Structure 1
Amino acid sequence: MLILFVLLYLLLTVAVGYWASRRVKNTIDFLLAGRSLPFYMSTAVVFATWFGSETLLGASSEFAQHGLLGVIEDPFGAALCLVLVGIFFARRLYNMNLLTIGDYYRIRYNKVTELIAAFFMVISYFGWIAAQMVAVGIVLNQVLGISTQTGIVCGSLLVVAYTYMGGMWSVSVTDFIQTTMIIGGLLFIVYEIMQKVPLTVVTADLPDNFFAFTPRERSTTSWLNYFALWITIGLGSIPQQDVFQRVMSARSAGVAVASSIGAGVLYLTIAFIPLLLALYAKYLHPELQAADAQLLVPGLILRSDSFAIKALFFGALISAIISTASGGILAPASILSENLIKPLLRFTDDKKMLRMSRLSVLIVAGISLSMAMMRQNIYELVSESSALSLVSLFVPLVAGMFWKKANAAAAIVSMLMGMGVWLFALYLQTEINPMLYGLAGSIVGLLAGYVAGNKKCSGKFLEVRQHLIKV
């Protein structure tokens, strides 16, 4: 019965995606759902940005092993990102009437900045999408009994199918249905389990510092690394196409702001349910953690006697993963087609661009699938994805919005220097999170590039230099 339910649900998802695809008439429909989503649907779509494998499988396993400090990055940092986008960025970006966030770097700076930003943005997504594909494989392995690798391939084909057909319209409609199922299913499950075993019993034997929210060590290094956890997704995902795409699909700037903030609050609330379920799994079935911590929550549900709980959980789990995966694939595909391929081929016909956008979906999915087959740690794949965009894209985005003097040279040097410093720090395996070195490098690069690209500053620098030589 469970297998039948899961298969029927997957077929229904494809059918809904196909139905939504009939609304796609042009590139704006495919990439931004015609910028017409109402508040309730826009909130559901933004909420579904990250409520996927890293929350249900990755974060829950981290929480069971390392306590509250293990999940600062997600869900706390992820919720912070959505709230910050709503407060500081959504209205400004929406009013610019952009098709992709890559367009911002061209309009605010120049085409070279756009190409560099687009390249970094596209490669930052492969790990994220691969994490969702791995999660689909794990779920299908648990439910259908097929190998994880086979599950990865089958699940990926399903997600690619309806994303290819309907783009953001398919993503939006399926996200709304899936978000409703996720919230309802998880609330019912946690209520049923807490009725059988009170939460006080589960938490009685946990270590004293399990729910510590700040570092136990009072060293500078530990606090810097703690700060890095907050900003990995909290700031690193602000300049990402998936967040931009979902927020910009709203019907107005006001809806874009409200849905982003609302989704952030909703995410932080609902994301605690999988963490709670992980504690129950650890308490009721400690043998699960000894095998694969990522299977804690699915293992708990499979051992339940209630078919309703199994059906609701795996329906919610598959909903969360494929909604995140579909949006994840569409985001870099949009950047690839609009900001990398279009300038090179100089397409002007919208029908050709629509075909190119769909072809880009297949290209992104193929590369991500190859990564998913090689690496299967969900939490690490997601973390690396956000770090890459933080060290290269965040500083130029913020500077372009809030510093009028920021120029193209500043943006380009910021992106290249931030990426270079981060990679060098990764190579050195520094005690302090390498991402902080990369962020610092990006800020220094911004200032250095501004001085180099500003004629007035360059002239004054030469005057000072000549004066010093004379002295």
Structure 2
Amino acid sequence: MLLASIVAYLLVTILIGYWASRKVKTSGDFMLAGRSLPIFLSASALFATWFGSETVFGASSEFLKGGLYSVIEDPFGAALCLLLFGLFFARKLYNMNLLTLGDFFKIRFGNRTELVASFFLAPPYVGYIAAQLVAMGLIINVVTGLEVWQGVVISAFVVTFYTYIGGMWAISITDFFQSIVIVVGLLALAILLANKAGGVTVILQEVHPSTSRFLPKWDFKEVMLYLAAWSVLGLGSLPSQDIFQRVMSSGSQKIAVRSCFIAAGLYLTVAMLPLFIGLCAKHLYPQTTSIDSQLALPNMVLAHASLPIQILFFGSLLSAIMSTTSS
């Protein structure tokens, strides 16, 4: 039943992309959804852009080892980036009516700078997309027993297909659908585990005080590492095509700005769920989380959760990873 649900979910995603392709008439429709996205599609697209495997697997794993201090980069740095983009860049860039981020460099500095900027902006996405595809391959491997590479191929086909035929319209509509699945799936699992543990209070009482440490110790090296953690996504991702494209796809200047703020708040809020789920899992099934594996949560869900929760959880995982990959 779980396998059938995942197959059905992938098919629904493809169908949504195919339906969205009917809105694509021009290159502007394909690249920027005709600059007509309403606020709920624009905000969900920004939120889903970064809410991927690293947020669910990586952040929760790091949080269990080092507390809040070890997850400054993501989700806190990512939320900071969206906030800063909305405050300082969204309004001005939207009014410039650009198609790509490279166009900005062309207007300000000329063709050569545009070429150089585009050359350096593109390669990082190769590794980032590869990591998401491997994560999807691992999930399919856990659920179905298929080889990881086979899961990667299937995942790549699904994401490439609906992105290719529907462009930004397909991405924004599937991102909205996937964002709902992410929130519902993670929230359902968090509530289930909290109830099994005896309530949220029981979980929080067991948390070591060092887990809530948010600021660095006052020595030069640690302060520099702390600032670097904030800066990697918080500042380093400001000149990125994925954020730029979603902002430029908004239906108006106000929508572009407000979408950044909504996405920042939504990202930071929803990203707390995997951290809390990790704490619950550590309390209930310490033998599972003691293994240094980012697949501890999926394995725990398969072993201890009911079928409806499994469907919601793996649906939320696939949604998170697919939305990031397509972005």
Q: Smaller-chain TM-score range?
A: over 0.9
What residue identity is the alignment partner of 1:202?
Answer: I
**TM superposition shift of 1:225:** 0.8
- Cα separation, 2, equivalents of 1:246 and 1:220: 38
Which residue pairs with 2:57 in the alignment? 57
The verdict on how the C-alpha distance between 1:11 and 1:304 changes in structure 2, with shifts beyond 3 A counting, is same
Which residue pairs with 1:200 in the alignment? 201
Which residue pairs with 2:242 in the alignment? 242
SS state at 2:250 partner? coil
Correspondences of 1:136-155 after superposition (within 5 Å): 136-155=136-155
Which residue pairs with 1:72 in the alignment? 72
**TM superposition shift of 1:126:** 1.4
SS state at 1:210 partner? helix
Correspondences of 1:426-441 after superposition (within 5 Å): none
- Cα separation, 1, equivalents of 2:98 and 2:109: 14
**TM superposition shift of 1:201:** 3.1
- Cα separation, 1, equivalents of 2:59 and 2:152: 20
Alpha-carbon displacement from aligned partner over 1:96-137 (angstroms, at most 9, x marks no partner) = 000001100000111111011000000121121112111111
- Cα separation, 1, equivalents of 2:162 and 2:313: 22
Correspondences of 1:123-134 after superposition (within 5 Å): 123-134=123-134
User: Residues 134 and 152 of structure 1 are in contact (CA less than 8 Å); yes or no, is this contact kept in structure 2?
Assistant: yes
User: Residues 36 and 251 of structure 1 are in contact (CA less than 8 Å); yes or no, is this contact kept in structure 2?
Assistant: yes
SS state at 2:304 partner? coil
- Cα separation, 2, equivalents of 1:65 and 1:27: 47
What stretches of structure 2 of length at least 5 have no aligned partner?
none
- Cα separation, 1, equivalents of 2:65 and 2:137: 23
**TM superposition shift of 1:176:** 0.8
What residue identity is the alignment partner of 2:40?
Answer: Y
Which residue pairs with 1:294 in the alignment? 294
- Cα separation, 2, equivalents of 1:305 and 1:180: 21
Alpha-carbon displacement from aligned partner over 1:178-207 (angstroms, at most 9, x marks no partner) = 111211222222122212212333344443
Alpha-carbon displacement from aligned partner over 1:263-311 (angstroms, at most 9, x marks no partner) = 1011100110011111122222233334442112212221234211111
Q: Which runs of 4+ in 1 moved over 6 A?
A: none
What residue identity is the alignment partner of 2:105?
Answer: Y
Correspondences of 1:33-432 after superposition (within 5 Å): 33-197=33-197, 198-215=199-216, 217-327=217-327
- Cα separation, 1, equivalents of 2:210 and 2:5: 41
User: Residues 59 and 275 of structure 1 are in contact (CA less than 8 Å); yes or no, is this contact kept in structure 2?
Assistant: yes
Determine which structure has more spread, i.e. the larger CA radius of gyration: 1
TM-score, structure 1 as length reference: 0.67
What residue identity is the alignment partner of 1:276?
Answer: F
User: Residues 60 and 297 of structure 1 are in contact (CA less than 8 Å); yes or no, is this contact kept in structure 2?
Assistant: no
User: Residues 194 and 203 of structure 2 are in contact (CA less than 8 Å); yes or no, is this contact kept in structure 1?
Assistant: no
- Cα separation, 2, equivalents of 1:309 and 1:106: 50
User: Residues 193 and 281 of structure 2 are in contact (CA less than 8 Å); yes or no, is this contact kept in structure 1?
Assistant: no
SS state at 2:176 partner? helix
> Larger deviation: 276-285 or 95-104?
276-285
SS state at 1:276 partner? helix
**TM superposition shift of 1:251:** 0.4
What residue identity is the alignment partner of 1:170?
Answer: A
User: Residues 20 and 169 of structure 1 are in contact (CA less than 8 Å); yes or no, is this contact kept in structure 2?
Assistant: yes
**TM superposition shift of 1:208:** 2.8
- Cα separation, 2, equivalents of 1:242 and 1:93: 14
TM-score, structure 2 as length reference: 0.96
User: Residues 82 and 261 of structure 2 are in contact (CA less than 8 Å); yes or no, is this contact kept in structure 1?
Assistant: yes
User: Residues 181 and 319 of structure 2 are in contact (CA less than 8 Å); yes or no, is this contact kept in structure 1?
Assistant: yes
User: Residues 281 and 299 of structure 1 are in contact (CA less than 8 Å); yes or no, is this contact kept in structure 2?
Assistant: no
- Cα separation, 2, equivalents of 1:25 and 1:116: 31
Aligned residues: 326
The verdict on how the C-alpha distance between 1:152 and 1:167 changes in structure 2, with shifts beyond 3 A counting, is same
- Cα separation, 2, equivalents of 1:65 and 1:85: 31
The verdict on how the C-alpha distance between 1:48 and 1:235 changes in structure 2, with shifts beyond 3 A counting, is same
Higher RCO structure (Cα 8 Å, ≥6 apart) = 2
Sequence identity of aligned pairs in percent?
50
User: Residues 68 and 211 of structure 1 are in contact (CA less than 8 Å); yes or no, is this contact kept in structure 2?
Assistant: yes
User: Residues 83 and 261 of structure 1 are in contact (CA less than 8 Å); yes or no, is this contact kept in structure 2?
Assistant: yes
> Larger deviation: 2-11 or 287-296?
287-296
SS state at 1:251 partner? coil
> Larger deviation: 144-153 or 27-36?
144-153
What stretches of structure 1 of length at least 5 have no aligned partner?
328-471
